[in-house]
Amino acid sequence: MLSKEEKDFLIYWEANRLNNKRFLRQFSIGLPIGVFLVAAVFVNILSGWYKKADMIIRSNSSILVTILVALVGIAIFLTIFSSRYKWEQNEQRYLELKEKEKREESLQ
């Protein structure tokens, strides 16, 4: 028998599964993770704790642009990957609960 939490999840996911699959919705869900990681790396780069790397960045400014492009790419990848992973987890749980519900109905 399905618990109340499982039934609530089934109702929620049936209503929202297609809305949560949209690209912009996924992008907005995973964005904080990507931005946080990029901000942490950028602060680490600008802090100057590693003197040799700091000298290289200051001597060649195009490296900073390359690093910024790489950080934006990492943020976008993490945003899309984390949101799609979360959607897949919810979809898997939904399918498992539907199968469990179907088995229980066939036993009765």
Residues 6+ apart with CB under 8 A from 45: 53, 57, 67
Q: Which domain holds residue 54?
A: 4-107
User: pLDDT for 4-60, tens place per residue?
Assistant: 999 999 999 999 888 877 777 777 777 888 888 889 988 888 888 888 888 888 888
pLDDT, tens digit (0-9, with 9 covering 90-100), for 66-86 = 988 998 898 888 888 888 898
* Predicted pLDDT at 98: 94
Q: How many domains does the chain have?
A: 1
**Its pTM surpasses 0.75:** no
Q: What pLDDT is attached to residue 11?
A: 93
Residue 102 structure tokens:
């179907």
